[in-house]
Copies of this chain bind each other. A is one copy, B any other.
Amino acid sequence: MTIVCPDRPGIVHAVTGAIVTAGGNITELQQFASADTGRFFMRVQIDMTGSDSSFTDAMSPVALEFGMDWILDVVGRPINTLVLATTAEHCVQDLLFRQRAGLLPVNIVGVLANQNVLGELVEFYGVPFEHMPIKSQEDKAAFEDRVRALVAEHDVELVVLARYMQILSPELCQELEGRAINIHHSFLPGFKGANPYLQAHRRGVKLIGATAHFVTENLDEGPIIEQNVTRVNHGESADALRVIGRDIESRTLRQAVGWYAEHRILLDEHRTIIFE
């Protein structure tokens, strides 16, 4: 269960009271009171003997009193996930492999790509692959409508942009707010414009990294979920940086997706609260 509400004394007591009433036992509890926004965040993992409805009966008055947004879910339930891709296979392959190996609680309902190169890989893992080229604004609108259709059809809870090299329309960004995750490379310092690996190489950066973040209308400025870096040196060409970057991207995206699937990410305005 995750809870977000305005901070005030007595929240934890009230919530844990509801849990006791419903016959639950707490196995994990994390909470955070944001000094920035005055909001209170909580994630509780519970061993339940009673039914969901008895729990809801106990929680409802508490939620009403404290003005809570709350979600109850079963730990480990695979969340329905749609993957968007272009040509790069490293992130897609990593997600598919981990789903199959039981290392990531996702149910990937399909991979939708705007290029036609990943089909064989995706289908090896028994996941449907669709390809819709984007060569015009109409194509793009059609592609995004297909995203909407797949989301609706499969009750998709998370859309993962696994190196999908198109910018989502503002409308779709808004529709998917808080449930679409993107991965992109990151450098110290940041580089604007084309071919960032070449720029990073020319500047002689010593660390390259990746950032997983929620998709928002402002390109690459959504709330940050996870970041990782790897050390590089002067001997690495721009191409070598690209190869190294791929590994960090896969690792970082996988981590963000896993946390999302377990409801470990809550949003405090522009910041993520991560209950690892």
Contact = CB atoms under 8 A, between A and B. Distances in A.
Q: Contact residue range for chain A?
A: 35 or more
Copies in the complex: 4
Contacts of A13: 13, 16-17, 19-20
A244 to B, nearest CB: 10
Nearest to A11: B26
A270 B90 contact: no
Given A31-B29, A89-B101, A190-B190, A270 B227 contact: no
Nearest to A188: B186
A188 B29 contact: no
Main secondary structure of the interface of A (DSSP, over half): mixed
A227 B207 contact: yes
Given A204-B270, A211-B188, A271-B234, A20 B29 contact: no
Interface string A191-212: 0000000000111111101010
A274 interface: yes
A159 to B, nearest CB: 21
A223 B202 CA distance: 9
8 contacts: A13-B17, A13-B20, A26-B31, A28-B235, A188-B188, A188-B211, A189-B211, A207-B229
